[in-house]
Amino acid sequence: MKRREFLSKSFKVGAFAGSVFTIPGFYNNNFSSKSYASSNYDLVAIKGGEPDIMFDEAIKQLGGMQNFVKKNQKVVVKPNIGWDVVPELGANTNPKLISRVIEHCFNAGAKEVYVFDNTCDDWRRCYDRSGIESAVKNAKGQIVPGNSESYYQSVSIKNGKKLTNAKVHELVLDCDVFINIPVLKHHSSTQLSIAMKNLMGIVWDRRYWHRNDLHQCIADFSAFGNKPTLNIIDAYNVMKKNGPRGVSKADVVVMKSQIISKDIVAADAASAKLFGMEPENIGYIKLANQLGAGKMDLNSLQIKRIIL
């Protein structure tokens, strides 16, 4: 399907570099505490505010959205919208964060901003109940479906060990900027669902991945597929068990945090630490690091930490 045909069918801040924070395993001395010029950070970790306010401050530390989005560019934003549940369950990306990211993209000069996911539950209900559809529309973005195979085009995964080809949503293949915005949560098959796992929502046949070494397929696609321009990890409401769909609010811890990085492996490694797990114990993070998709060693990175 041609792009035009597809579209016609779619419808107060306290910043403390190097501070020792209280979240075990993440906001502590396991990370480098050097100070660097803002645009040179590999990763920004922020906590203590609302999703939109945290993003406002965090993106400044990477030089602003204008470092990633230029005038008249087409932007695709990929949240997790996979589940027909309310935001408080932590199964989907926080809608306040999505809205604010879109606003930053337009302020940086974006011509178009599209949002979609290949959902697990019915896509219409997921888009509505997650709050993301209304958030996108309020920010003047365009939310489009991912529910038909006709939207996807075949690509080769060069040197993939288990995954050698995939059908990828044409918006991702045709965009200038690809922004990946997953939610950090527990996952029954992979222990954690974060940035690399979120990329399963831009492909058509996810069942193949589950049948053919899920961790290796995630790593293969992250190393050799369409890499996001920016990864923004929503860790505001974090589902600690019974993921990925969630069962009750009792499974959720309010962490009020975000992690932002161009490096998808670093973003997932830092998120694993925030969750309370070691990155090397998450199969796809370790495999993606070995394939050169990014850096798992957080001590080698230039990191900015912020408390609001």
The three-state (H, E, C) secondary structure of the chain, written as one string: CCHHHHHHHCCCCECCCCCCCCCCCCCCCCCCCCCCCHHHCCEEEEECCCHHHHHHHHHHCCCCHHHCCCCCCEEEEEECCCCCCCHHHCCCCCHHHHHHHHHHHHHCCCCEEEECCCCCCCHHHHHHHCCHHHHHHHCCCEECCCCCHHHEEEEECCCCCCCCEEEEEHHHHHCCEEEEECEEEEECCCEEECHHHHHHHHECCHHHHHHCCHHHHHHHHHHHCCCCCEEEEEEEEEECCCCCCCCCHHHEEEEEEEEEECCHHHHHHHHHHHHCCCHHHCHHHHHHHHCCCCCCCHHHCCEEEEEC
Confidence of residue 225 (pLDDT cuts 50, 70, 90): confident
Task: Evaluate if residue 187 carries a pLDDT over 70.
Answer: yes
CB 270 within 8 A of CB 259: yes
Residue closest to 228 by CA, chosen among 284, 190, 266: 266
pLDDT at 4: 42
Is the pTM here over 0.75, yes or no?
A: yes
Average pLDDT over residues 279-288: 98
pLDDT at 40: 85
Give tens-digit pLDDT for 263-282: 999 999 999 999 999 999 99
The CA-based dihedral angle spanning residues 223, 228, 230, 233, taken in that order and rounded to the nearest 10 degrees: -80
pLDDT at 38: 55
Confidence of residue 13 (pLDDT cuts 50, 70, 90): very low
Give tens-digit pLDDT for 131-157: 999 999 999 999 999 999 999 999 999
**Residues 6+ positions from 245 with CB-CB distance below 8 Å:** 82, 83, 85, 91, 120, 121
Confidence of residue 226 (pLDDT cuts 50, 70, 90): confident
Average pLDDT over residues 224-249: 94
Task: Give the class (CATH, top level) of 3-11+49-258.
Answer: alpha beta
Task: Evaluate if residue 111 carries a pLDDT over 80.
Answer: yes
